[in-house]
A and B are shown apart, each in its own frame.
Chain A
Amino acid sequence: MSKSLFIGFFRLFILFISFTFVSHYSFAQDLMVQTDTVKVDFFAIGQPSFLKIHGKSEQLNGKIQIKNKKLTASFQFPLNTLNTGIKLRDKHMKKKYLETKAHPNAVFEVKSWDIPNADQLFSTGLDATLSGTLTIRKIPQKVDVQLQLTPEGKNLKVLAKLKTKISDFNIELPSFMGITVAEDIDLQIAFDAATKEK
């Protein structure tokens, strides 16, 4: 084998290694929300009777992108789908307080969050707190989300919990038939995210 041929092979090998190395870290995965697995719950307390108000929905759209050990995400939640079990209360909540006609969606976005132990995301999962922006009625608020990602093959089971305040979104404390909702709202979002490789 001539020296030039050896050098050629060596360069090709280096190129191959480099390409492999670079492609590993530039590898992007889009994880789409599986809409039939969505469970969105909010919990609030109504006074004066400490009434627990539980709102539910099964709709959420959006995706998570994992690239270069960073996570970005964007979700849209149609507020009109919330159901607290009492039609008149729901109507009141959507019309008077959330104003869903003018502002139909709540939007949650995460921009470039460094994933801890990214290499093990699809083997051991993740339990961490990340910061994102929740926008309701065009008012963005930074929120901390307790995130749990559990791998299921190439997919992830997502469970996100966060706390927020009604007044952060310039909404007056909702009052319905003498029951006034307290400031603090607990949100819990669960869904399966399926990989869509690029």
Chain B
Amino acid sequence: MKTLFLTLIAVLFLPQTSFSLPELVRHGYTNCTTCHHSPNGGGIFTQYGRALTAEVQSTYNSEGESDFAYGLVKTPKWLEMGGNFRSIVTRQEYPNESLTKFIRMQADLETALVFNKLKIIGTVGLQDTDYPSDPTQGAFFSRRHYLLYSANPNLTLRAGKFMHTFGVMQPDHMVPTRQGLGWNIGSETYNLEASWINEEWNLFATGVFGRPDQSTLNRETGFSLNASRKLSDTYKAGLNYFHGSENNDSRHVIGMHVLAGFTPKLYLLKETNFEQKDSQWNLYNFTKLGYEPTQGLHFNLFLGAVASDLSSDTPIYYIYGPAIQYFPRPHIDLQLTYEMIHERNSSFVKKWLTLMMHFYL
């Protein structure tokens, strides 16, 4: 159990694959659909989202620079395109060994066909599993593909392959509240989702149907319910529930999250989840405090905690450290993270230094 847990911990905090920035709550952006076609954020930008990457996210920009492919490729109004190319260099230090790795994390193109109330959205990219012996390594695959139907300004229905909504849909989905719960890179499932969004509320109900196309992959099926509410222009909080079952096992996950923009420069993301599985309660917690002294440059402090059984003496792992994220110009996102993983009542400390380089079309 401990080995499994350490393995889980060892891959925590690899950065993002689905670019979204809930930190923009500090500027009053509390609904994901302002910047993304996806109701729960991430993935291909709306035109407005593209404009924001220049206007409020990057240190420098020129007019039209944030357009798809720098405006070199013009698309008709019904066709929107994007893409993400991401890799990391990481130095990992364990008590008895250390290693340096380069990982090409993501190379995806994404397209949205927009027809009035209907949108068809999908990615195609190269599979990178980080395991050279994996037969799917380097193969073409689609991380997301779904149909979106906006029944009215509030109600949207979605069917297809995507990550179901739960908590803070932050890009670092290897944080304890994402990867710890099995919602890591590549864990997108086939879902049916209804979302109801207005000025104050975001409500999601999602049926999760696992991966019927690949029985060897994530087969957990179930449903999730989420409600979040804007508390003021720059504060939002929500409650989340997930029930999943796989073979004879089932689990319940309940959680709460907060997005807080204290000022246009200072913000906090917080998520706490409790998982009931095998008659025990596990905890997955994550907090990120950020400060943006000048537009595009972010200093972050993060703290995560994972406890495998709250009722026993099993270890609690703390994951903490600083990070610097820099958006010098539209299309470029760099992040340097120094993280330490520490087990309570133990000398075990793992240190990771990671440089993430992300280019988006």
Contact with B34, one of A54, A85, A89, A179 (Cβ below 8 angstroms): A179
Which residues in chain A, 51-87, are within 8 Å of chain B measured between CB atoms?
51-52, 54, 85-87
Judged by a CB distance under 8 angstroms, whether B87 is at the interface is no
Assembly CA distance A178 to B48 (angstroms): 6
In the complex, the number of residue pairs spanning A and B with C-beta atoms less than 8 Å apart equals: 55
Decide: B198 and A50 in contact? CB cutoff 8 A: yes
* CB proximity of A41 to chain B, nearest CB, Å: 11
Decide: A86 and B52 in contact? CB cutoff 8 A: yes
Contact with A52, one of B54, B56, B150, B233 (Cβ below 8 angstroms): B233
Given the known interface contacts A85-B56, A177-B48, A179-B48, the answer about A49 and B31 at a Cβ–Cβ threshold of 8 Å is yes
Q: Which residues of A have CB within 8 Å of B309? A: none
Q: Which residues of B have CB within 8 Å of A48? A: 33, 150, 153
Most buried by A among B29, B34, B63, B153: B34
Judged by a CB distance under 8 angstroms, whether B55 is at the interface is yes
Which residues in chain B, 148-177, are within 8 Å of chain A measured between CB atoms?
150, 153
Given the known interface contacts A177-B47, A177-B48, A179-B48, the answer about A54 and B31 at a Cβ–Cβ threshold of 8 Å is no
Closest residue of B by beta carbon distance from A43: B233
Q: Which residues of B have CB within 8 Å of A85? A: 27-28, 56
Decide: A49 and B52 in contact? CB cutoff 8 A: no
Could you give, for residues 11-46 of chain B, a 1 whenever the CB lies within 8 Å of some chain A CB and a 0 otherwise?
000000000000000011111111000000000001
Judged by a CB distance under 8 angstroms, whether B278 is at the interface is no
Judged by a CB distance under 8 angstroms, whether B199 is at the interface is yes
* CB proximity of A187 to chain B, nearest CB, Å: 17
Judged by a CB distance under 8 angstroms, whether A88 is at the interface is yes
Given the known interface contacts A86-B55, A86-B56, A179-B34, the answer about A50 and B197 at a Cβ–Cβ threshold of 8 Å is yes
Could you give, for residues 171-182 of chain A, a 1 whenever the CB lies within 8 Å of some chain B CB and a 0 otherwise?
000001111000
Judged by a CB distance under 8 angstroms, whether A131 is at the interface is no
Judged by a CB distance under 8 angstroms, whether A47 is at the interface is yes
Closest residue of A by beta carbon distance from B32: A49
Judged by a CB distance under 8 angstroms, whether B89 is at the interface is no
Judged by a CB distance under 8 angstroms, whether A121 is at the interface is no
Decide: B31 and A177 in contact? CB cutoff 8 A: no
Decide: A51 and B29 in contact? CB cutoff 8 A: yes
Judged by a CB distance under 8 angstroms, whether B51 is at the interface is yes
Which residues in chain A, 69-124, are within 8 Å of chain B measured between CB atoms?
85-89
Q: Which residues of A have CB within 8 Å of B298? A: none
Q: Which residues of A have CB within 8 Å of B55? A: 86-89
Assembly CA distance A88 to B55 (angstroms): 7
Judged by a CB distance under 8 angstroms, whether A45 is at the interface is yes
Closest residue of B by beta carbon distance from A53: B28
Closest residue of A by beta carbon distance from B200: A50
Contact with A45, one of B47, B50, B63, B199 (Cβ below 8 angstroms): B199
Given the known interface contacts A52-B199, A52-B233, A179-B34, the answer about A47 and B47 at a Cβ–Cβ threshold of 8 Å is no
Assembly CA distance A89 to B28 (angstroms): 15
Q: Which residues of A have CB within 8 Å of B63? A: 88
Q: Which residues of A have CB within 8 Å of B150? A: 48
Assembly CA distance A54 to B233 (angstroms): 10
Closest residue of B by beta carbon distance from A87: B55
Decide: A54 and B28 in contact? CB cutoff 8 A: yes
Decide: B51 and A51 in contact? CB cutoff 8 A: no
Assembly CA distance A33 to B145 (angstroms): 57
Closest residue of B by beta carbon distance from A47: B153
Most buried by B among A46, A49, A54, A89: A49
Contact with B199, one of A50, A87, A89, A178 (Cβ below 8 angstroms): A50
Q: Which residues of A have CB within 8 Å of B51? A: 86, 88-89, 176-177
Q: Which residues of B have CB within 8 Å of A49? A: 31-34, 46, 48, 197
- 13 intermolecular pairs with C-beta atoms under 8 Å apart: A47-B153, A48-B150, A48-B153, A49-B31, A49-B32, A50-B153, A51-B48, A52-B30, A54-B233, A86-B51, A176-B51, A177-B48, A178-B48
Interface of A with B (CB < 8 Å)? 45-52, 54, 85-89, 176-179
A49-B32, A88-B54, A177-B51 known; 16 new pairs, CB 8 Å cut-off, are: A46-B34, A48-B150, A48-B153, A49-B34, A49-B46, A50-B197, A51-B34, A51-B48, A52-B28, A88-B51, A89-B55, A176-B48, A177-B48, A177-B50, A178-B48, A179-B48
Interface of B with A (CB < 8 Å)? 27-34, 46-48, 50-52, 54-56, 63, 150, 153, 197-199, 233
